[in-house]
Amino acid sequence: MVPFVAVTGGASTPAQAVDGLLSTHIRYQGFQGNITASTNPVSLDPQALNTLMMLPGLSSWRQNGGVVVSDILGARAIERFYDDTAQGFPHRVIAKDAFLAGNDLLYLADFALSDASYEEQLANMQDTMRWFQERYESDVAFQTQVDVAVLRILQLKLRQYNNNFALENVLLPETAVPPTNTHQSSMVDVAQNAVTLISPSMDVLAERIRPPNPDEQMVIFTDMRQAQQCAECPTKPYIGLTAIQDRILALYGPQASGQVQADQITSYSFADLEAFLAAGSAPIVYNAVPIHPHPVPLVARGRDGTGRWYGRAFPHRHPPTTATWYKNRCFLPTGSFLPN
C-alpha cells in the first residue's frame, strides 16, 4: 500500500496528491483475519473496500474528498464472477453492487455479455441509469449515498476550475493542448517499468530461453479479429497484422540495435494458420482481400523448416474459442518453441 499512500494522505503537498483512485477487481484471501476466506472483487465488496479506505493515509485522503472510480464493469472477470456459464449479464446488479461498494464513478465499458454490439452495451447503460433514477426516488439510503458521491465529484470539479464553471474557463482552446507525442518517451518508460516478471526467475528464464541467432527466422501469428469503436466507425483489428513485427524492428532492427533484420521476421494471421493446418499437402488458395498496407501472405508452409522462433498475439478480451482453437489446432514441429 506504500505507493498508494504516497500519493494520497501521505503526499508531501496537496498538489502531489491524486484526485482519484481506481478500485480493481482483485480478490484477497485472509484480508480481514480469516486466512481461509477470500473477498469478493474489491470493487464490488463494500466491507473490503471500506476496510481499505480506512487504512492510515487513505482515510484522510478520502475524508478530504478523494474520489474512487470503479474498474471496467464489463470486464471478462466480472462476467464470470456473476455467471460462470457466460449465459447472462446482470447489468443492473453489477452497477448497483459497484456503487454500493463505495465507488463514486462507475466505468460502464464493455457493458454487455462477451462481444456484444455497442448498441446492446448502450441499451444496458441507459437502462441502468433509468433504474438508478428510480432507486434514487424510492430508496432513501440509496439517495443519500448518491448525494455523497455527487458532492465529492462536484467538489473535485470546483477545485479543478477554481469555482468557475464558465465555458471559456472549462474548455481550453486547441492551441493550449500540447501535441500527443510530447510525453511519448515518458509514457514508454512508465509502460516498461510497469512490467513485472512474476515467474520464472530471471536466471531460469535466461537458461530456458536464449535470444534468436542472427541467422534464425521468427514467425508471428496474430489474432486478427476486428471491432468497431462506434456504430459509424470503420472496422479495425484489435492488433495489426505486423504490430508485433514492427515493434521488434523498432527495438532491435537496423535502425535500433541491429540485432534483427526485416527479412528475418514473417507475420501471419490466425486465418493464414488455420488455412495452412487445414490444407494438408494441397496448395493454399486465398480469396480474402489483402489487409492494407501488407498483403495476406500466400504461403505459411516452409517457415517451420527455418523458423525456430514462434510468437502469437491475442486481443486482451479474446473469447475462449480463440484460445481453445489455438491449443487444439496449432501443433508445432519437434524442437520448436512457442514463448508465453
Q: Output the tens digit of pLDDT for each of the chain's 340 residues.
A: 788 888 888 878 888 889 999 999 988 776 666 665 677 899 999 988 998 899 888 999 999 899 999 999 999 999 999 988 888 899 999 999 999 999 999 999 999 998 788 899 999 999 999 999 999 999 999 999 999 999 999 999 998 888 888 888 888 777 766 666 666 667 767 766 766 777 778 777 777 777 777 788 888 888 888 888 887 888 888 888 888 888 888 878 888 777 888 889 999 998 888 888 887 776 666 555 555 554 444 444 445 555 556 565 666 555 555 555 554 555 444 333 343 3
Q: Which of 70, 68, 94 is nearest to 81 (CA)?
A: 94
87 within a domain of the structure (yes/no): yes
How many Å apart are CA 221 and CA 329, to the nearest integer? 13
336 within a domain of the structure (yes/no): no
How many Å apart are CA 25 and CA 23, to the nearest integer? 7
Please report the pLDDT score of residue 79 as a whole number.
92
The count of structural domains within the chain is 2
Angle between helices 140-160 and 91-101 (to 10 degrees): 70
Q: Among positive and negative, which fits the CA dihedral 134, 137, 143, 147? A: positive
Asked if residues 270 and 300 have their Cβ atoms less than 8 Å apart, the reply is no
Please report the pLDDT score of residue 111 as a whole number.
94
Are β-strands 265-269 and 217-222 bridged in parallel, bridged antiparallel, or unpaired?
A: parallel
Residues 163 and 306 grouped into a single domain: no
62 within a domain of the structure (yes/no): yes
Q: Which of 305, 235, 242 is nearest to 268 (CA)?
A: 242
pTM above 0.75, yes or no: no
Q: Among positive and negative, which fits the CA dihedral 191, 194, 197, 203? A: positive
181 within a domain of the structure (yes/no): no
Asked if residues 267 and 245 have their Cβ atoms less than 8 Å apart, the reply is yes
How many Å apart are CA 272 and CA 295, to the nearest integer? 12
Asked if residues 214 and 265 have their Cβ atoms less than 8 Å apart, the reply is no
Residues 16 and 71 grouped into a single domain: yes
How many Å apart are CA 297 and CA 24, to the nearest integer? 41
- Widest CA span of the chain, in angstroms? 73
Residues 216-246: pLDDT tens digits? 888 888 888 888 888 788 888 888 888 888 8
Residues 9 and 132 grouped into a single domain: yes
Residues 137 and 223 grouped into a single domain: no
Q: Which of 305, 308, 303, 318 is nearest to 338 (CA)?
A: 308
How many Å apart are CA 221 and CA 263, to the nearest integer? 16
Please report the pLDDT score of residue 297 as a whole number.
45
Instruction: Tell me the residue range of the domain where 246 lies.
Output: 200-329
How many Å apart are CA 218 and CA 242, to the nearest integer? 12
Residues 209 and 310 grouped into a single domain: yes
Q: Which DSSP string corresponds to 245-291?
A: HHHHHHHHSTTTTSS--GGGEEEEEHHHHHHHHHHTTSPP---SPPB
In this structure, the number of other CB atoms found within 10 A of the CB of residue 312 comes to 18
How many Å apart are CA 237 and CA 270, to the nearest integer? 12
Instruction: Determine whether 137 is exposed, middle or buried from the number of CB atoms within 10 Å of its CB (0-12, 13-18, 19+).
Output: exposed
How many Å apart are CA 245 and CA 294, to the nearest integer? 12
Residues 41 and 158 grouped into a single domain: yes
Residues 49 and 145 grouped into a single domain: yes
182 within a domain of the structure (yes/no): no
User: In sequence order, what are the beta bridge partners of 72?
Assistant: 107
Residues 137 and 43 grouped into a single domain: yes
Please report the pLDDT score of residue 86 as a whole number.
80
3-class secondary-structure state, position 6: helix
The residue type found at 301 is: R
Residues 29 and 162 grouped into a single domain: yes
Q: Which of 253, 225, 235, 245 is nearest to 294 (CA)?
A: 245
166 within a domain of the structure (yes/no): yes
33 within a domain of the structure (yes/no): yes
